[in-house]
Amino acid sequence: MRPSHSRTRVAEFIGDKIIRQQLPAGRSIGEEALAIELGVSRTPIREALLGLANGGLVQAQRGRGFIVQPLSASEARQIYPIIATLERLAVETSPPASGQQIECLSDLNQQLAQTDSPHERMRLDASWHRTITSDCRNPRLISLIEATKQTALRYEYAYLKNAALRDTSIGEHEEISARFQSDPKGAAKAIELHWMRGLNAVLRMLEGPEDGI
């Protein structure tokens, strides 16, 4: 990345490293090393970290600079029910799915089943959810969903690293898609349950016998 890239791109680059767990939780973030890697000064690095702190990914600590926030069961319990409720509302207030929309959902699900990359799984899963809410007529609601999901990305990455959980999601996606053509309200309820099952899986990973992800 060259100096001409925007501060937004710098924040995206650092955020992606955090999501992929390439910047360990609880440790100081090497601002100088990131500046060298990106070919920028420390100023856009610090500005990006301040923005990420507002989003809850990092925390500013006196004398230590910025540290990556650890994954937290408490945070997951706060985030997932909000996403579940908002996405249920978006699907519930959408018209029944068109054949083209169902075809797109099926194609994304097939790609999700075939990839071994956790990052690509996360991207495809996000595209699937974005597609199923794409006909929602409430742009403010969609903006709220997207903003809240930014905080959940680290949890989704950890979830989708597990192939068995990925396969569970694929099956639930198929069930939701099947309902969406004829029963949007049923699909809306199913997508809410889908997110809450995801929360339960994340909590098992965080609080289970291995004590974390």
Q: Which range among 58-67, 114-123, 138-147, 183-192 shows the weakest confidence by mean pLDDT? A: 58-67
pLDDT mean over 124-143:
96
Instruction: With cut-offs at 50, 70 and 90, classify the pLDDT of residue 209.
Output: low
Ordered structural domains, the chain, with CATH: 7-68 (1.10.10.10), 73-207 (1.20.120.530)
pLDDT mean over 67-84:
95
Please enumerate in sequence order all residues whose Cβ is within 8 A of that of 203, keeping only pairs 6 or more positions apart, or say none: 73, 76, 77
On the CB side of 207, how many CA atoms lie within 13 Å of its CA? 12
Residue 6 has pLDDT above 60, yes or no: yes
DSSP code, position 27: S
**Are 53 and 63 within 8 A, CB to CB?**
no
**What's the pLDDT score for residue 3?**
44
CA distance 200 to 205: 9
Tokens 């999501």: give the residue.
19
Instruction: Locate 165 and state its tokens.
Output: 């959980």
Q: Which residue has the higher pLDDT, 210 or 56?
A: 56
pLDDT mean over 95-110:
95
Phi, psi (deg, nearest 5) at residue 111: -65, -40
Residue 128 has pLDDT above 90, yes or no: yes
**What's the pLDDT score for residue 91?**
96
**What's the pLDDT score for residue 182?**
87
The most confident of 40-49, 79-88, 141-150, by mean pLDDT: 79-88
In tens, the pLDDT along 148-194 reads 998 899 999 999 999 999 999 999 999 999 999 889 899 999 999 99
* Crossing angle between the packed helical segments 139-160 and 184-207, to the nearest 10 degrees: 40
Mean pLDDT estimate for the chain? 90
pLDDT mean over 49-70:
85
**What's the pLDDT score for residue 212?**
40
Tokens 């898609």: give the residue.
177
CA distance 201 to 153: 15
Spacing of C-alpha 40 from chain mean position: 27
